Amino acid sequence: MKTVLVSRIDDADALRYTAELARELEGLGHDVALEEGTAKHLGAEGIPFEKIAGDLVVVVGGDGSVLLTVHQMKKQVPVLGINWGEVGFLADLEPDEARAFFAAHESGFGVERRMRVSLSVNGELLGDALNEGLVVTDRPAKMLRFGVYVDGTPAERFRADGLLISTPTGSTAYAMSAGGPIVDPQIEGFLLVPLAPYMLSSRPHLISTGRNLEITLETEKPAHLVIDGQSSFELEREATITVKKSDQPALFARTDKPFFEKVNHKLRNL
């Protein structure tokens, strides 16, 4: 099995753990490689994110490390997250669980597909999000005006500090903090969560991926679209954002931990 290891590079213990895990996986017969940034901090040769290929990518880090890996990979490879962060909704295993997992799955593992959203602005594709696209103003304390159109029909118009365009996977991230619902990741839909809306009647919407969804900025105020916290794009005034289901879902190695059990455990231990 060809396995690529990625570690957060700002934590010496995480890097040390990654080096030890690499040796153990080699002992189990894995063909192990290191991501370029990780390798540099371990004094070894590595491969850049965009050239990652193989059977499995093991990420030692928090949700940000997993998002960065998924965001940077040119072609999606199954990811297994080992939590070296705060909460780790995208990291199924704790560090002391990883060795037993690999020992029990020497012959392979199941793969779970997680929907991503493709975000285009005025017809130009900007990228895919596993968690969310965030639209926010450049000017603090200034509100934006949004229009939501479903299959060409006006569905909502509101003023808010910003808007989250989230996937079901992202429903346990920023969207949850902003008052959105927890959504089963097996559901395929677009979750829209206004940030601090002016009217209490402006509520989150969950919209089927089978519908045509467009969001318009109906304001002269400057704004940005931030994708998974990894890349940011300046939006033109009165821009139109088209939201579609991505052709490339994120892939995750199955660990047989039920989603709602994991959510319950992590939320109770924040």
Same-domain pairing of 46 and 100 = yes
**Longest CA pairwise span in the chain (Å):** 60
Query: What is the rounded average pLDDT of the residues 242-264?
Result: 92
Distance (Å, whole) CA 188 – CA 95: 31
Distance (Å, whole) CA 158 – CA 143: 10
Same-domain pairing of 36 and 54 = yes
pTM value?
A: 0.92
- What pLDDT, in 10s, does the model give residues 12-21? 999 999 999 9
Checking if the pLDDT of 107 tops 90, the result is: no
Cα–Cα nearest to 70, from 117, 21, 24: 117
Checking if the pLDDT of 52 tops 80, the result is: yes
What pLDDT sits at residue 168?
98
Where does the pLDDT of residue 266 fall: very low under 50, low under 70, confident under 90, or very high at 90 and above? confident
Kindly report which listed range (91-95, 100-104, 171-175, 261-265) carries the lowest average pLDDT score: 261-265
Q: Structural domain tally of the chain?
A: 2
Domain of 219 in residue numbering reads as 117-245
Checking if the pLDDT of 28 tops 70, the result is: yes
- What pLDDT, in 10s, does the model give residues 216-247? 999 888 899 999 999 999 998 889 999 999 99
Distance (Å, whole) CA 231 – CA 227: 5
Dihedral angle over CA of 100, 104, 107, 112, nearest 10:
-80
Distance (Å, whole) CA 201 – CA 216: 19
Same-domain pairing of 133 and 154 = yes
Q: Point out the catalytic residue in the list 10, 63, 138, 161.
A: 63
Amino acid sitting at position 57: V
Could you confirm whether 63 is annotated as catalytic?
yes
Query: What is the rounded average pLDDT of the residues 62-75?
Result: 95
What pLDDT sits at residue 269?
66
Q: Which CATH number do you get for residue 14?
A: 3.40.50.10330
Distance (Å, whole) CA 115 – CA 169: 8
Same-domain pairing of 135 and 212 = yes
Pairs from 229-237 (Cβ < 8 Å, separation ≥ 24): 229/64, 229/67, 229/131, 229/134, 230/67, 230/68, 230/71, 230/72, 231/71, 231/126, 231/127, 233/121, 233/126, 235/121, 235/135, 236/121, 236/122
Kindly report which listed range (141-145, 168-172, 177-181, 201-205) carries the lowest average pLDDT score: 141-145
What pLDDT sits at residue 79?
98
- The owner of tokens 């879902």 is 249
Same-domain pairing of 126 and 235 = yes
Higher pLDDT, residue 146 or 107? 146
Query: What is the rounded average pLDDT of the residues 141-156?
Result: 94
Strand partners, 133: 165, 227
Q: Which CATH number do you get for residue 227?
A: 2.60.200.30
Cα–Cα nearest to 157, from 194, 117, 105: 194
Same-domain pairing of 121 and 237 = yes
Same-domain pairing of 186 and 122 = yes
Same-domain pairing of 132 and 82 = no
Same-domain pairing of 99 and 180 = no
Same-domain pairing of 97 and 170 = no
- The owner of tokens 């949004």 is 146
Query: What is the rounded average pLDDT of the residues 153-164?
Result: 95
Same-domain pairing of 179 and 105 = no
Where does the pLDDT of residue 87 fall: very low under 50, low under 70, confident under 90, or very high at 90 and above? confident
Higher pLDDT, residue 268 or 18? 18
Cα–Cα nearest to 128, from 231, 31, 260: 231
Kindly report which listed range (61-65, 183-187, 259-263) carries the lowest average pLDDT score: 259-263
- The owner of tokens 């704004």 is 223
According to DSSP, residue 219 is labeled S
Same-domain pairing of 239 and 257 = no
